[in-house]
Amino acid sequence: AQTVTQSQPEMSVQEAETVTLSCTYDTSENNYYLFWYKQPPSRQMILVIRQEAYKQQNATENRFSVNFQKAAKSFSLKISDSQLGDTAMYFCATHWNYMRFGAGTRLTVKP
């Protein structure tokens, strides 16, 4: 079974600084997908970034990038130049057959 662990229940960062959210997972599969989703206080989940496990290159979307370590089963999210609008719950998820989410990290960006 796949499990997803986010070891940081809460984090805070000053505006314009960089923060890294951790995620580890457990799977016996070789081909799967990894995601980071953001859930702002208004609660609608939106995709931040997606990574295909067979690709070595780390995915990047503007200020958001990942550090994907397949052997270590680690998938951390780096947010550069943090903005107040980045304040939200962040969920790491894996997909093989269906989506499995971690418990989330609550990120607060402080002015």
Which residues here bind another protein, judged by CB under 8 A? Answer: 4, 32-33, 35, 37, 42-47, 50, 52, 91, 93, 95-104
Q: Three-state SS for 105?
A: strand
Closer residue to another protein, CB minimum distance, 13 or 99: 99
CB of 91 to another protein, least distance (A): 5
* Closest CB to another protein among residues 15, 52: 52
Taking the complex as a whole, the smallest distance from the CB of residue 43 to another protein amounts, in Å, to: 6
Rg, C-alpha atoms of the chain: 13
Pairing of strands 3-5, 24-26: antiparallel
3-state DSSP assignment of residue 104: coil
Select 35 or 79, whichever has its Cβ closest to another protein: 35
Quick check: helix, strand or coil at residue 92?
A: strand
